[in-house]
């Protein structure tokens, strides 16, 4: 379990690149595991090989996921973030960028690993992507914060295997509260999910940031 206050190692680009490559291969492995039909014996044999590889990676272990050297805010620098972290195989990953006027945007495609209703994206996955994008938009106003409320409106099913766009922007700041909204849009340009959120900056964020 990684503590919030644990000092994080910051990866240089040379360190991050091979770990991102490792995560990309594991992402392929996850999809292969979801879709494989190799049969029981082969599945057991592959599981044994994967267990051996896992032990090799565990041989030298950090106390907590590292940060990246790039990114304006802590939320952008989390290498192991489950939405945008290039080192996290669970993350699609969604490559989120912020414009000078505070709009956070990312294009991404979700494969069968993220299926909810047959052939569509799981609603919790859409929520996770929007939480991250809105959280990053909140951070563009200053320090950012923790999600206090997140409201979603699922307008139409979000397709798997097709290019999606997430966009978010902070609308106002009231003391430690930051309000933001955003959408996921399908390949036809129609919004599939809308979100509004309120983030609250904890007192310790004000001390820890930068
Ligand atoms: C390293 C970078 C990390 C960035 C990560 C971002 C990842 C993406 C975003 C997330 O997923 S965050 C994880 C999900 N969210 C949480 O786990 C939050 C859990 N809740 C908390 O930690 C605290 O409740 C919270 C920080 C949100 C508020 O605690 P505080 O002690 O700072 O709040 P306080 O009680 O002082 O209230 C401040 C104001 O906010 C209001 N408030 C607080 N929590 C609220 C809430 N949940 N709903 C509505 N209003 C809320 C509260 O009423 C009050 O309003 P007023 O000033 O008008 O009186």
> What is the pLDDT of the chain when averaged over all its residues?
93
* Whole-number pLDDT of residue 206: 63
Which of 79, 148, 177 maximizes ligand 1 atoms within 8 Å of its Cβ, making it the mutation to test the pocket?
A: 148
Cα–Cα distance, 77 to 12 (Å, whole number) = 11
Question: Structural domain of residue 99, as residue ranges?
Answer: 1-210
* Whole-number pLDDT of residue 210: 45
pLDDT in tens, 94-137: 999 999 999 999 999 999 999 999 999 999 999 999 999 999 99
pLDDT in tens, 128-163: 999 999 999 999 999 899 999 999 999 999 999 999
* Whole-number pLDDT of residue 5: 54
Q: Which residue has the higher pLDDT, 78 or 128?
A: 128
Query: How would residue 205 be classed by pLDDT, with cut points 50, 70 and 90?
Result: confident
- Phi, psi angle pair for 202, to nearest 5°: -65, 155
Cα of 145 from ligand 1 centre, angstroms: 7
Which of 67, 146, 149 maximizes ligand 1 atoms within 8 Å of its Cβ, making it the mutation to test the pocket?
A: 146
Cα of 191 from ligand 1 centre, angstroms: 28
Instruction: Report strand pairing: 10-11 vs 67-68.
Output: parallel
Q: Which residue has the higher pLDDT, 75 or 87?
A: 87
Cα of 199 from ligand 1 centre, angstroms: 6
135 ligand 1 Cβ < 6 A:
yes
Which ligand 1 atom sits closest to the C-alpha of 146? Answer: 12
34 ligand 1 Cβ < 6 A:
no
* Whole-number pLDDT of residue 69: 84
72 ligand 1 Cβ < 6 A:
no
Question: How many structural domains are present in the chain?
Answer: 1
CB atoms inside a 10 Å sphere around CB 118: 7
* Whole-number pLDDT of residue 130: 98
Cα–Cα distance, 85 to 98 (Å, whole number) = 16
How far lies 141's CA from each of 68, 104, 130, 201, 203, in Å? 21, 12, 17, 11, 16
Q: Which residue has the higher pLDDT, 3 or 43?
A: 43
Cα–Cα distance, 137 to 114 (Å, whole number) = 24
- Residue of the nearest CA to atom 22 in ligand 1? 146
Cα–Cα distance, 158 to 191 (Å, whole number) = 9
- Residue of the nearest CA to atom 36 in ligand 1? 202
Q: Is a pLDDT exceeding 80 seen at residue 75? A: no
Determine contact, residues 86/71, Cβ cutoff 8 Å: no
Query: How would residue 1 be classed by pLDDT, with cut points 50, 70 and 90?
Result: very low
Q: Which residue has the higher pLDDT, 75 or 55?
A: 55
Domain harbouring 85, CATH code: 3.10.129.10
* Whole-number pLDDT of residue 143: 83
Which of 144, 200, 205, 207 maximizes ligand 1 atoms within 8 Å of its Cβ, making it the mutation to test the pocket?
A: 200
């Amino acid at each position: 379990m990684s503590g919030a206050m644990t000092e994080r190692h910051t990866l240089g680009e040379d360190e991050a690149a091979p770990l991102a490559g490792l995560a990309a291969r594991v992402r392929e492995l996850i999809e292969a595991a979801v879709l494989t039909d190799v049969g029981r014996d082969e599945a057991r044999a592959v599981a044994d090989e994967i267990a051996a590889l896992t032990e090799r990676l565990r041989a030298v272990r950090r106390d907590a996921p590292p940060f990246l050297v790039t990114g304006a805010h802590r939320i952008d620098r989390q290498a192991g973030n489950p939405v945008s972290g290039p080192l996290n195989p669970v993350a699609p990953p969604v490559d989120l960028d912020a414009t000078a006027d505070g709009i956070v945007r990312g294009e991404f495609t979700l494969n069968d690993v993220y299926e909810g209703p047959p052939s569509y994206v799981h609603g919790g996955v859409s929520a996770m992507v929007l939480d991250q994008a809105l959280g990053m938009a909140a951070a563009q106003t200053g320090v950012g914060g923790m999600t206090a409320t997140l409201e979603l409106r699922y307008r139409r099913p979000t397709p798997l295997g097709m290019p999606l766009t997430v966009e978010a922007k902070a609308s106002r700041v009231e003391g430690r509260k930051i309000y933001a909204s955003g959408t996921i849009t399908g390949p036809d340009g129609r919004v599939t999910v809308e979100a509004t959120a309120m983030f609250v900056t904890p007192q310790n964020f004000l001390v820890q940031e930068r």
